[in-house]
Amino acid sequence: MLPRALAARGHEIGNHAIFHPCLRNVPQGGRDWVRPEYALESYTVPQMVDELQAANTTLLALDGETVRTLGYNCGDTTAGGHSYVDAARPLFLAARIGEDRIAADVRALDPMLVPSWMVQNVSGDEMIAFVKKAVGPGASPSSCSTASVAATASTSPARPTNSSSPGSLRTGRRSGRTRSSG
């Protein structure tokens, strides 16, 4: 489904950059599918922020939303060897990294470093189980919403509202996650 149609049905469209830059040289054999010109090792922090800003502008034209969340490409947070987390902070309400864990204390959580679960080839029951685990004491509501939205989407694709929620951490949409390593 096209992003504009998804947004019209109430789905949040997250920023996932334009060219999906990721680190190419990583443990476990690297990522050969990352084209050298889009390897984060050769990006600069300003270049990455410019790309994210351009993606925000594009998404604004699609869904009219001015509050945006980010899914770090491949969960990578550096460009040219330097963190771009703080440079990107003014552009986003929150951003998710990978790590497949539930935050121990949401009050101590940096909203630009929200852990998330990479949902791939899992059943609805597994997602529901993750939600139940995530809503335990001190757990991260973002992890909860990530899984709950996915679980809801699997059974009921339409959501009735299209409201932006700047006061909540809605970071769970897997926009653009079409490649195996996110």
**Interacting residues toward Zn ion by CB under 5 A:** 177, 182
Nearer to Zn ion, 142 or 181 (CB): 181
Q: What are the backbone angles phi and psi of residue 82, rounded to the nearest 5°?
A: -120, 145
Using the minimum distance from each CB to Zn ion, give the nearer residue, 139 or 172: 172
Rounded Cα distance, 47 and 6, in Å: 29
Comparing CB distances to Zn ion, the nearer of 119 and 139 is 119
Q: Least separation, in Å, of the C-beta of 53 and Zn ion? A: 18
Residue 148 structure tokens: 């709950």
The answer to whether residues 95 and 119 touch, using CB atoms and an 8 Å cutoff, is no
Element (H, E) at 83: strand 82-83
68 vs 139, which CB is nearer to Zn ion? Answer: 68
**Nearest distance in Å: CB 72, Zn ion:** 8
| Token output for 21 | 């830059």
Task: Name the minimum Å distance from CB 74 to Zn ion.
Answer: 6
Measured from the CB atom, the residue of 22 and 103 that comes closer to Zn ion is 22
* Shortest-Cβ-distance residue relative to Zn ion: 182
Question: Rounded to the nearest whole angstrom, what is the least distance from the CB of residue 132 to Zn ion in the complex?
Answer: 27
Q: Closest distance between Zn ion and the C-beta of residue 180, in Å?
A: 9
In terms of residues, how long is the chain? 182
Q: Mapping DSSP to helix (H, G, I), strand (E, B) and coil, where does residue 134 land?
A: helix
Angle, helix 141-155 to helix 124-134, in steps of 10 degrees: 150
Token digits for 16?
A: 């996932």
